[in-house]
Structure formats: C-alpha cells, structure tokens
Amino acid sequence: MTAIIDDYITTLTPRAKGRIRGLAKLVITGHGSVMLSEDGAIAGDAAADVVLSASDEVFRNILSGAQNPIMAYMSGKLKVEGNVQRALKVSAILTGEG
C-alpha cells in the first residue's frame, strides 16, 4: 500500500463511516483504489456498486473543495461507472457535505 492510498484512507474513513450503503470504489489512476463502505475506507479492488475514477490531483482537489465533483464529471476529469445516485452520495462524502 502506498502513502497516497494511506492518506485517502485516513481522510475518508471519518467522512464515510455510517454514511454509505453498499460499496463504492475510488480508483486513483496510477496509485490503486480505495473502497468506501459504512465501516469507513480501506485499500482494495473489489466489485462495487459505483466506481469513481480520476487522477490523484483531481481527487485531492475534490477533497479540498477546490474542484466541484459534478463539474469534474462533466469535463471528463472524473469517470463514473454504476449507480448515479450513489455517485452523488459519494461525491457528498468526498467534499464533506451532507
């Protein structure tokens, strides 16, 4: 596991805990993936209900509030596979909203 993935786990575990149903996967291009569940965040590459893929830079900008996740999706910087409603819930977790 890389330091980058560890950083995502540390940041996202408190944001995701108790706030998500099923599994969501964040694929950080070139670094690996993080699984989000109601238990928090862990490194992993399992099947998920929704998959969000982007570069480390895009995810960090979303986490910091510098990048709107919907605009990142519309501009092609963020790819989404699966349930769109779940993707919106995950984006709220990433931005610390809701």
Over residues 47-94, the pLDDT tens digits come to 999 999 999 999 999 999 999 999 999 999 999 999 888 898 899 999
Domain that holds residue 90: 3-95
Half-sphere exposure of 93 (CA within 13 A, CB side): 29
Question: Would you state the pLDDT for residue 86?
Answer: 86
- pLDDT(1) > 80: no
The CATH number for 91's domain is: 3.30.1050.10
Over residues 2-20, the pLDDT tens digits come to 899 999 999 999 999 999 8
Question: Would you state the pLDDT for residue 98?
Answer: 60
**Domain count of the chain?**
1
Report the SS3 class of residue 63: helix
| Inter-residue contact 25 to 48 (CB < 8 Å) | yes
| Inter-residue contact 35 to 43 (CB < 8 Å) | yes
CA distance 52 to 31: 14
Mean pLDDT to the nearest integer, 22-45: 96
- pLDDT(33) > 80: yes
